[in-house]
Each structure stands twice: as structure tokens, then as C-alpha cells.
Homo-oligomer: A and B are copies of this chain.
Amino acid sequence: MVFQNPKIKKLLEKYSDVWALNHALALLGWDVNTYMPRGAAERRGVAVARLSVLRQKLFLSDEFKSIFREAEKEENLNEYEKGVIRVLKRELEFYEKVPPELLEEEAKVTTKARVVWEKAKEKSDFKSFEPHLEKIVEIEKKKAEYREFDKLYDALLDLFEEGLTSEDVDRMFSQLRIPLSKLFKKILDAGVFPQHHKLEDEKYDKEAMKYLNFLVLEYLGYDFSRGRLDVSTHPFTIDMSLDDVRITTWYHTSDFRRSLGSVVHEFGHALYQLQIDKALAGTPIGTGVSFGIHESQSRFWENMIWRSRAFIDFFYPSMRALLPFLKEYKPEEVYRYFCIVRPEFIRVEADEVHYPLHIILRYEIEKGLIEDSLNVSEIPQVWNEKMEKYVGVAPPNDRLGCLQDVHWSEGYIGYFPTYAIGSILAAQIKKALESELGNLEDLVVKGEFTKIREWLREKIHKWGATLPPKELIKRATGEDMNPKYFLEYLEKKYLA
């Protein structure tokens, strides 16, 4: 038995109500993005708001808090029990320090800002969004102040990546920025990986594409008895429980890598949830530990596995059978198509090489906003200058520039760095895995996905949120987060 201590057990028993509400809220969210009739949105919104408040009330009730205080005092807790205390303490402290009025204001301001942002983006009109973003920055700064960290920005960053500091990020990003920019230019100059591939224009049959997605998921080892693949506007993964982790993808009817790549990316997220130790089900640690670690899992499967020659070789016959136009393209061509390297204005369209440059730019800007070294009004200019400098192209307008992402309008400042953490960690994990199982591509080309899954389960997944992210990384890979493996990986792959 993982949980022994009676006071921890009592705490978990009480927590089950919160978990049940999380479960329901997850399904309500899944439904909104998949099958909900469009006319149902308004009443759904009312229900979700009510249930969220109810969840908060249960969590912050005197009864729950006093059971927590009792459990917190216990000594000789095991690792899992300590994990439960750590995770709950983080959330409880947040609500103790940050006044509810500020969170209400945040909710009100961001709800409005989200709508304004959407219109501003459409019209490429930053000025209309500016006052809203100013308000959001002020609120986030206040929120950060209440959390009483050494540095304001760190208080926000920690909400998405527990324990990560701007010092960590500065160190890693300074190691990455110039080498990445150089590598990117070098690859472009070499002209081996195309800037446009004819396969982008090939139309596919949607039903056949679905079969291909299902086939690939079967081989990778997605457990369809505990998950589903559906269609949505943007691909996502959502977990209702450790036995119910669903993914979605999209079908554009051409450029098939977008559909398949998303499937593999979301599979990485889902596998993490599905391989968490069942004993942690329904507890606060029965979930992924942080945004960065989660993203490392999706990137690992998307970049290190799917975007590899070995993957193409293993799946080429299946792909050819279901997408007949591939008869005109050799595996090498499909590989080049999967790995197109070219400058993109839009972050989510960026290849794995220059993607982190998009993140570094956002990080520098949002940190500047919080540290008062940058004004909201200066964003468009700074954005374009940095794009020119880091990526080599400046967007022609703000729609393709500083208005492209939804995050800031929702109050998510401190989120962006976790995407780069995902890339960095994916490479570091690959390195660690290979030191035990040998070359990753050798496994992939033989379809030995079980070995890969089991390694990830033992080293990372099974723990859920038991260990803090930094501790988990150290145990899994033998060292702290280190961006050098990411650079090595890219150089080996793209300069070969």
C-alpha cells in the first residue's frame, strides 16, 4: 500500500469530492471541444462556473483545511505521502496569500480581454488590446507580490513550473539563443531540408487518414480501452481519470503530417497520464507534475520518434497503403517533409529547430513587463525587432506577430518558458534512455515501442506528481536540466 498514514488517508478520503468535481469538469471540457451542440454553450458555461466555485469551496472549507493541517504535522511520511502534502500545500498557500478579490478581478478582466484579443488579432489592431493587457500585467504583478518570492516573475513562473526560477531560465536560454540562431541559419543555408515540400499540397482521404492515425496509435501502444481519439478545432489531451485519457486531432484534408504529428504529440501527453501508478488514482498526486514535464513527453514522441527516419521506415508500408499518393514519394522524401525547416512567424507552426527562439522572445518580453523594464505599448516594436534578430524575419503585422497567442489575454504570464523546457528535457530524456536501452532509432525501426514506454513509465510516468519536477528530472536523467543535449541532438540530426 502506497498510503499508510491514517491522517493522510483521511485527507485523501476528503479530497475525493474535489477529485470527483475535477473529473466532471474534465468531461464537461472534453464535451465542449468535441460533441456539444453549439446552442448548449451558454448553459454549459453557467454549470461549469458553478461547479468550479463549488470545487473551490470544498477545497478551501475549514473542514478540509483542518484535516490537512493535521496530516501536515505527521512525521515519517513516505515519499508519496510527502508528495500529497507538498501538492496540496502549494495550492492552499496560493489561496491563503492571494486575496479572492484579486482573483475575481483577474477572472473578470481576462474574460473581457479574451474577447477583445480575438477581435484585435483579427484586425491586427494591437492598440485596442493594449489597455486590457496593461490591466492584466498590473494584476499579475500584484498576484506575484502576494506570493512573496524573491523575484516577482519567479512567483508567476512557479505557478506553471514548480521550483523553476528566472535564474534557471536565463542560464538555459543564454546557452541556447545564439547557437540556435546560428544552427538555424546554417541549416537554411545548406538547403538540405526543404522550405516547402510537394507533400504539403497532397490531398488525403479523411477516413483513410483516420485509419492511419488509429493504426499508428495501436503500434505506439495507446490503450484504447482507456482512451479515445476524436476530432476538435485544436488537438488536445484531457484526463478524466487514470483510466480515461482522451486525445483529439484535426483533419485538414491535405498536408497529412499535421494530423499525424498532432496524434503522436498528444499520445505523448496521454501516455504520461496513463502510466501513472494506479495506486495514486483520485489523489492530488495522480496527475502530471508540471507543464514542462508534460510537454517534454509530447515533444519526445513528436520530435524524437515521429520526426525520425526510423519512424518513417517502420510505418512507410502502412502510410503508403492508406495514403496512395505516397507511392510517388520515397521514405527519404517523407522524412524531409516531416522535418521541414523554415522561418515561421507563427510559433505553433515552427519547426523544432527554431521553435525555442519564439519562446525566448516571449520570455524576454513578459519578464520585462513584470520587471517594469518594458511597457505594454512597446511590445509590437520589440517583438518585431527580436523576430528579425533571432529568426531572421519580422512579421508584416501584429496578427502574425505579438497578437498571435491567446496566453497573455488569459492572464498566463510565466507559461511560455515551459514549452522550451519541453524541448530541452525531451532531448535530455532521449540521452538518458539511450544510455540504458541503446540507440532510440534502433528501437523505433524495429517497432519496439514497449521498451520505450516501459522505460518512461519507470523513470518518469509512474511517479505522477509525487516528486517535484527538479527532483524527478535528476532521478530520471542523473543530472539537472541541461540544454546542451538539445543542441547536440539538433546538430546531429540536421547537419548530418
Contact = CB atoms under 8 A, between A and B. Distances in A.
A198 interface: no
Nearest to A34: B35
A276 to B, nearest CB: 12
Given A16-B50, A40-B241, A31 B21 contact: no
A43 to B, nearest CB: 4
A51 B37 contact: no
Contact of A35 (B17, B35, B44, B47): B35
Interface in A45-66: 46-47, 50-51, 54
Given A44-B244, A50-B16, A31 B27 contact: yes
A356 interface: no
A37 B281 contact: no
Interface stretch (A123-131, A222-230, A320-328): A222-230
A109 to B, nearest CB: 24
A282 interface: yes
Contacts of A35: 35, 228, 230
Contact of A282 (B36, B40, B46, B246): B46
A418 to B, nearest CB: 28
Interface residues of A, number: 40
B51 A20 contact: yes
Interface string A4-43: 0000000000001101110111011001000111111011
A352 interface: no
A240 interface: yes
A429 interface: no
Q: How many copies does the complex hold?
A: 2
A242 interface: yes
Contact of A46 (B20, B47, B50, B228): B20
A243 interface: yes
Interface string A199-228: 000000000000000000000000111111
A476 to B, nearest CB: 27
Nearest to A49: B20
A35 B248 CA distance: 13
Contacts of A23: 43-44, 47
Contacts of A39: 223, 225-226, 243-244
A441 to B, nearest CB: 32
- The interface centre, meaning the residue of A20, A44, A227 with most chain B CB atoms within 10 A of its CB, is A20
A240 B40 contact: yes
Nearest to A227: B37
A21 B244 CA distance: 20
A27 B24 CA distance: 8
Contacts of A38: 225
B20 A228 contact: no
A242 B43 contact: yes
A27 B37 CA distance: 13
6 contacts: A16-B50, A24-B25, A24-B27, A24-B51, A31-B31, A35-B230
Given A17-B54, A44-B244, 14 more contacts: A16-B46, A20-B46, A23-B43, A31-B31, A35-B228, A35-B230, A37-B225, A37-B244, A39-B225, A39-B243, A39-B244, A43-B240, A43-B243, A43-B281
Interface of A: 16-17, 19-21, 23-25, 27-28, 31, 35-40, 42-44, 46-47, 50-51, 54, 223-228, 230, 240-244, 246, 281-282
